Amino acid sequence: MLKKRVIPVLLLQDGGLVKGERFKKHKYVGDPINAVRIFNEKEVDELAFIDITSTINSTEPDYALIEDMASEAFMPVAYGGGIQRVEQVERLFHLGVEKIIINSAFFTDPNLISACCQVAGSQSIVVSIDVKKVF
């Protein structure tokens, strides 16, 4: 029988954690390093961080913050946001990230997925799709 896995997905905006409602109205809810410490105590299976502003603002991932989060975590860390190049993926793996989440770049450059899988292996690359129902 398959084991249930607990994988919280935390949204990052300007270096802090936010909670959104229908992809809007994001409110600050805390410090990501503190959240990692809390989830360490809860013994979750994995943590996923998604920077919701880096792609929109065309900025690089906040490597210093990512390194701090990954070094504090006792579980695998996944990161997504602002990833456009294989070099970024390689750097994130060197910082301690174990999975990469790609969203927007999948639509602009589908070949990026194959290139990233050659570097990291297909088990470490996740394609994310945001769905919003409009009636």
What is residue 89's DSSP assignment? H
Catalytic residue among 14, 45, 51, 130: 130
Q: Is 68 a catalytic residue?
A: no
User: What is the C-alpha separation between 110 and 37, in angstroms, rounded?
Assistant: 35
Look up residue 6 and give its two tokens.
């607990």
The phi and psi torsions of 108 (rounded to 5 degrees) equal -85, -30
User: What is the C-alpha separation between 76 and 41, in angstroms, rounded?
Assistant: 14
Residues belonging to the active site = 130
